Each structure stands twice: as structure tokens, then as C-alpha cells.
Copies of this chain bind each other. A is one copy, B any other.
Amino acid sequence: MSSKADTPSTKPLSNSQRAFLALRDMIFAGDLAPGSDHLESELAEQLGVSRTPVREAALMLESQGLLELRPRKGVRILPVSPDDMAEIYDVLTELECLAARNAANKGYSEPDLDPLAKAIEDMEVAVAQNDLENWAEADDRFHRALVLLGGNSRAATVFDMMNDQVRRARTVTLFMRPLPVQSNEDHRQVFEAIKAGDAGTADAVHRAHRQNAKNMMLELLKKHRLRGV
């Protein structure tokens, strides 16, 4: 679920890194609400460390656009407005379509595409069971697998950053949306296009897919007056 590569190797994570992960999780879980302010010292106490690792974590999170360090006001958890979300979706669309084209052009064999196939399967099962949580998880997995198959590590890094924000918004909007039936069909078409080495189709289908997702999200945010998630 983390956007960083979860290497199973047991590395002795530093306090700064733990603070980074903890704060990130708290933001996604809503424990640190969008728009809220938090003093470094309060966060330090909550995490049981001194201000130093909290500051370091905050600086990293600031670089990723999740919060803002405002002198004397504490760290501000940045709300994501509908306009922000539109921006994010547009960037994600470009990066994912780049990945889709690249993946199609790489001539992957079937086993390489297993992560995609598995994610599609899981999504179909989830939809059949009306299990939106699991659908969302598998959907996320599909998109990330797609980007990884694209083979551009920088695109993947930026994708992770942006996708984190979408995930955050989706925890709010997930249960407001209709069942993602068309979405699953899109995924399968993208998968087939990549397998067939048809970069143009992969791009076109995925682009339309993402456009729909963007419109859906913006509609939900508008309908429910969610001006900052």
C-alpha cells in the first residue's frame, strides 16, 4: 500500500523515516485533516521523538506536496481542491499513457504482464462481490503495475506522489460512486493492446479511461461539495 518499494529486507528504519511514514499514513487516514495545522512539537510528542526527525519528515512531505511548513503556524496539511485534483489527474494521465505506450513497445511476454492480469481478475471478482474496497486496491495495483512496466523510474516516482493524493481523495469518494463496470472493460482493453504491442490503442483506451475517472472524481467532489479533501 505504501508508495515506496516495500523491500521485505529488514532495514533498521531511522526515526526520520518512520516519522515520514507515520505522518503520511496519518494524513491518508484523515487523522491529520486537510487544512489543519500542527505544531512540530505536538507531532513530535505524538510520535515519541524529538522535533528533529519530525522536521526532517515534514521537509520530505513538503517536497511531495502533502503539507506545507509555515513558520509559527505549524505544518499545514494541504487540502486538495477539485482544481488540484484535475491537475493531478491530467499529470497521471500523461504518465500512465506514456507507460502504456512504452509497455506495448517493449514486447513483453505473458508472464511479464501477470501483475496486470492478476489485478484485472481481482477487480472483476471484487465488482461481482460489490466489494469496493478490494476493487480500489486492485485498481491501484493495476495502474502502478502499468507504470512499472513502462520502465521509466522517474515517471513511476512522480506517479507515486500524485497517486497518493488520488488515493486520499478516493477514501472519501469511494462509496459515492457507481460500480466500476466500464472501468474493468477498459483495463482489459489496455491489457490486450499492450500484449499485442499496439501502443496507439493502449494509449487511446487508457487516456479515455483516465479521462472518465477524472470526470467521475470531479463530479463526486462537486456534487458533495467537497471543496478540499
Contacts and interface: CB of A to CB of B under 8 A. Distances in A.
Contacts of A95: 91, 94
A81 to B, nearest CB: 11
Contacts of A84: 154
Interface in A143-163: 152-155, 157-158, 162
A84 B95 CA distance: 16
B152 A87 contact: yes
A15 interface: no
Contact of A87 (B55, B59, B88, B154): B154
Bin chain A's interface residue count: 20 to 34
A70 B56 CA distance: 15
A71 to B, nearest CB: 9
Interface stretch (A36-44, A60-68, A121-129, A184-192): A60-68
A91 B56 contact: no
A98 interface: yes
Nearest to A16: B59
Binding site secondary structure of chain A: helix
A89 B46 CA distance: 42
Interface string A44-77: 0000000000011001101111000000000000
A94 B98 contact: yes
A90 interface: yes
A227 to B, nearest CB: 17
Nearest to A59: B59
B90 A152 contact: yes
A163 to B, nearest CB: 12
Most chain B C-beta atoms within 10 Å of own C-beta, residue among A60, A65, A90: A90
Given A56-B55, A56-B56, A59-B59, A154 B64 contact: no
Interface string A108-134: 000000000000000000000000000
B162 A91 contact: no
A106 to B, nearest CB: 13
> Closest 7 A-B residue pairs measured CB to CB?
A63-B63, A94-B94, A87-B154, A87-B152, A94-B98, A59-B59, A91-B155
14 contacts: A59-B59, A59-B60, A59-B63, A60-B62, A63-B64, A65-B157, A87-B154, A90-B102, A90-B152, A91-B98, A91-B152, A91-B155, A94-B95, A94-B98
